[in-house]
Amino acid sequence: MTISASEKLRRFYAQFSSTDHVLILINADPDAIASAMAARRLLWRKVSSITISGVNVIKRPDNLAMIRLLGVKLIHADELCHKTRFHRIVLLDSQPNHHEIFEKFAPDIIIDHHPDTGYKASVTDIRPNYGATATIMTEYLRAANIKPSVRLATGLFHAIKNDTSNFERKTLSEDLKAFQFLFRYANITLARKIEHADIRLDFLKYFKIALQNMRMNKSRVFVHLGSVVTPDVCVLIADFFMRVNPVAWSIVSGIYENKLVIIFRNDGIRKNAGKLAKRSFGELGSAGGHQSMARAEIPVSASKSLSMCGDDKKITQWIISRIEQKNKKSGI
């Protein structure tokens, strides 16, 4: 039985009282940030306080620009004091096993568009077919008859545009409807400023490393960047190579905080990055994603061959060999 948007909103509101101190927890990226903004607006004047907290350190220029230009107040999870003072915890655009810090909390509400991992909360609204969590949150706003402010509409507009890669990735008509609704209220110039934020100067060296170390095999490019200041660098490089003809697969890795982070991108034609990531590295760490984009995070200590390997070229070869070995039947 299909549950209406108004019923989902009623179940959401039923979890809160006017005296509640609410924590909105995210792994900060455009979709998560915009979704948190929407949740804050939904709860405005309905609870005692709202805190938005991210578990990651934000270094990507576009994400930093989004926070600055839209006036988002965000604190890192490590800076939270007296965690027990929060009466309700809302987890957006993620699920508890997506990040080790999430496991320290017990969310009351989970709203996400990634594949369902089976975690149960008082309210769980997970829709893997949706292109963005921002679409789900826009439906909540519409059900509540809330006209979004320019900043909120711009954030949600940018999030849907970003997570669907301008609707090139798998989307539903609901994503288009949300996008069209938000277009009425968003500031397109502001959205463009966020989207085209300048690349940080210290990121340029990774493009040089990538071009020097890239391994091209047919239409697949593999790159290992060595140690990186943030996993977002791997995302930038992976997206960059997908704009190069004739690349159909871009697999970029780096070492961050004793973890091997691997970013997968493809053109979405008869391919599934999420399944490839899970088959290849799921038994060593967290791995999964969508049809055209995925991610794996593996503790360096999880593999003897990986922990003993200090050579970037050998790590690249280890990644290639493992992907080929684990995907012989299904191919890549």
pLDDT digits (tens, 9 = 90+) for 226-279: 999 989 899 999 999 999 999 999 999 999 999 999 999 998 787 899 999 999
Name the strand (E) or helix (H) holding 25: strand 21-26
pLDDT at 84: 56
Nearest to 92, CA basis, from 44, 33, 139, 155 = 33
Please name the residues in contact with 241: beta carbons below 8 A apart, sequence gap of 6 or more: 210, 214, 221, 223, 247, 250, 252, 265
Coil/strand/helix, residue 236: helix
Directed axis angle between helix 204-213 and helix 312-326, to 10°?
70
**CA–CA distance, 262 with 240 (Å, rounded to integer):** 15
* 253 DSSP β-pair partners: 224, 262
Query: Which domains, from first to last, does the chain contain?
Result: 5-195 (3.90.1640.10), 205-326 (3.10.310.30)
- Segments in the chain below pLDDT 70: 1, 82-84, 305, 307-309
Residue 164 is classified by DSSP as T
Coil/strand/helix, residue 198: coil
Q: Using DSSP, how many helices (H) and how many strands (E) does the chain show? A: 12, 12
Q: The whole model's pTM is what?
A: 0.74
C-alpha triplet 40, 43, 45: angle, nearest 5°: 115
Residue 58 is classified by DSSP as -
pLDDT at 85: 83
Please name the residues in contact with 38: beta carbons below 8 A apart, sequence gap of 6 or more: 134, 137, 138, 140, 141, 148, 152, 156
**Dihedral (CA of 226, 229, 235, 238) sign:** negative
Residue 105's region, left for phi above 0, alpha for psi from -120 to 50, else beta, is: beta
pLDDT at 328: 82
pLDDT digits (tens, 9 = 90+) for 130-174: 999 999 999 999 999 999 999 999 999 999 999 998 887 778 999
pLDDT at 60: 86
Structure tokens at 72: 């988002």
